[in-house]
Amino acid sequence: MMDTSTELSSTNQNNQGTKKIYGQSQSEISEELEKFHVPRKQNSMRTKQIWNWTYLGGVTEFSEIKNMPKELLNQLSKNYTLARNPIANEQKSNDGTIKWLVDLPSENNSTNNQIETVFIPEENRGTLCISSQIGCTLNCSFCHTGTQKLVRNLTAAEIVSQLLIAKDNLDDWHKNNPNNSRKITNVVMMGMGEPLYNFDAVKKALLIMTDCDGLALSKRRVTLSTSGIVPYIERVGNEIGVSLAVSLHAAKDEIRDILVPINKKYPLKELMKACESYPKIKNSSKITFEYVMLKDINDSLQDAKDLIKILSNIPSKINLIPFNPWPGSNYVCSDMRQIKEFAKVLSDAGFSSPIRRPRGQDILAACGQLKSETIRLRSKK
């Protein structure tokens, strides 16, 4: 994949650091402190202080840190920053869903370096959907992001930053919620991009988000969604340990080859084999299978029976997603009656098969749509 080093320069003209401190592991911060000649005995305490202020305090400037020597804070601010990536556009839906379009650095000032992050509030939880790449290479035919060519992978800092931006905007920092009533309880890597094609940065970011001294999201409440990059699935279980979701959408290769073309490289038989061993590795709950409901494409009752067959050895939950059309898409959403009958076949066979309630339809909810619309409006100016 492409080089993602957008944070190479560590100072700007104002002698302020530009390299993000978030996105660094604790050991990287500790190594940096050694360079600043922090006494060895204090290194671990200082590292923890930076970590806590960043991920519990939600500080955006080093000067907000209260219990560290000024000289060290000055050194840090000359080399690093806590600033977030700027928000280019924010849209709020009538149902409470919020979608942010975030500007990321680009070498040639392109307006194409933007990603989407979406907050979906529900009665008992708040889910943040985050992106792993700008654009995507995989061209899933029902997905709007698939129409946007890959610009680059995100860095770990840019992935973590999406959670920090959302927490800033929702006022969801620990210091403001002493009784720990978080607004963001769940994170799903289901935004733009294929996370397993950016494995190292995604792994680093998710380990930071689930670190119990900081953001402390439960690994059960963090879900990585893949279109089925088989060689990495075992590594997700072993090295990250979060919940797994698979963008499945068809139970037969001939249909999935069209909907999710990576299926030609990693066909269903191999994908199911990788999934079968995932829960054993992780000793955890079910794998979620995403299934977009497309009229006359994958929504027959025979399709439901085929699905039952291929998932018979996998503890599964099947999310049925009514298709959210976007301009230029070739598909139509299945009728609700058909979706309900499809769901009944699955639940009669013992599968949990909720029909996902469409969210944020008034704010260009299909992944990738806000970015396209913003580019379209800019080009009209």
Count of residues that interact with ligand SF4, criterion CB under 6 A: 12
Per CB under 6 A, the list member of 21, 138, 157, 293 interacting with ligand SF4 is 138
**Which residue number, 58 or 191, has a Cβ lying nearer to ligand SF4?**
191
Output the smallest distance, CB 3 to ligand SF4, in A: 20
58 — alpha (psi -120 to 50), left (phi > 0) or beta?
left
Identify which of residues 65 and 248 has a Cβ nearer to ligand SF4 in the complex.
248
Neighbouring C-beta atoms of residue 109, cutoff 10 Å:
7
DSSP string for residues in 288-345: EEEEEEBTTTT-SHHHHHHHHHHTTTS-EEEEEEE----TT----BPPHHHHHHHHHH
Give the one residue of 32, 172, 194, 303 binding ligand SF4; rule: CB under 6 A. Answer: 194
Per CB under 6 A, 166 contacts ligand SF4: no
| Among 23, 58, 126, 193, interactor with ligand SF4 by CB under 6 A | 193
Q: Does the annotation count 116 as an active-site position?
A: yes
Question: Interface with ligand SF4 includes 140 (CB under 6 A)?
Answer: yes
Distance of alpha carbon 225 from the chain centroid: 8
CA 190 from centroid of its chain's CA atoms = 5
Q: What does the per-residue mask of binding to ligand SF4 show for 213-232, with x meaning CB under 6 A?
A: --------------x-----
DSSP 235: H
Q: Which of 7, 32, 116, 290 is catalytic?
A: 116
User: What whole-number distance in Å separates Cα of residue 360 and Cα of residue 381?
Assistant: 26
In residues, how long is the chain? 381
Single-letter code of the amino acid located at 43: N
Residue identified by tokens 């000649």 is: 37
> What's the longest Cα–Cα distance across the chain?
69
For the chain, the straight-line distance linking the first and the last C-alpha, in angstroms and rounded, comes to: 34
Query: What six digits make up the tokens of 76?
Result: 């840090």
Query: Among 129, 136, 333, 367, which one carries the catalytic annotation?
Result: 367
In whole angstroms, the minimum distance from the beta carbon of 222 to ligand SF4 comes to 17
The residue from 146, 214, 228, 237 that contacts ligand SF4 (CB under 6 A) is: 146
239 is catalytic: no
CB nearer to ligand SF4: give 144 or 204. Answer: 144
- What is the rounded distance in angstroms from the CA atom of residue 92 to the CA atom of residue 80? 32
Structure token pair of residue 32: 């940096």
Contact pick of 160, 192, 244, 345 for ligand SF4 (by CB under 6 A): 192
Rounded CA separation 155/153 (Å): 7
The reply to whether 195 sits near ligand SF4 by the rule CB under 6 A is no
- What is the rounded CA–CA span in Å between residue 217 and residue 224? 13
Task: Pick the closer one to ligand SF4 by CB: 38 or 246.
Answer: 246
333 in Cβ contact with 322 (< 8 Å): yes
Which DSSP symbol is given to 146? G
Among 29, 98, 101, 143, contact with ligand SF4 (rule: CB under 6 A): 143
Q: Does 247 bind ligand SF4 (CB under 6 A)?
A: yes
For ligand SF4, the closer of residues 170 and 258 by Cβ is: 258
Is residue 118 a contact point for ligand SF4 (CB under 6 A)?
A: no
Query: Is residue 210 part of the contact set for ligand SF4 (CB under 6 A)?
Result: no
The token pair that represents 362 in the structure block: 């008034």
Nearer to ligand SF4, 82 or 138 (CB): 138
Nearest distance from C-beta of residue 377 to ligand SF4, angstroms: 22
- Please tell me whether residue 38 binds ligand SF4 under the rule CB under 6 A: no
**Residue 248 touches ligand SF4, criterion: CB under 6 A:** no
**Which of these ranges, 23-31, 188-196, 238-246, 318-326, lies near ligand SF4 under the rule CB under 6 A?**
188-196
- Residues 89 and 84: their CA atoms lie apart, in Å, by 14
Catalytic sites, residue numbers: 116, 367
Catalog residues that contact ligand SF4 under the rule CB under 6 A. 136, 138-140, 143, 145-146, 192-194, 227, 247
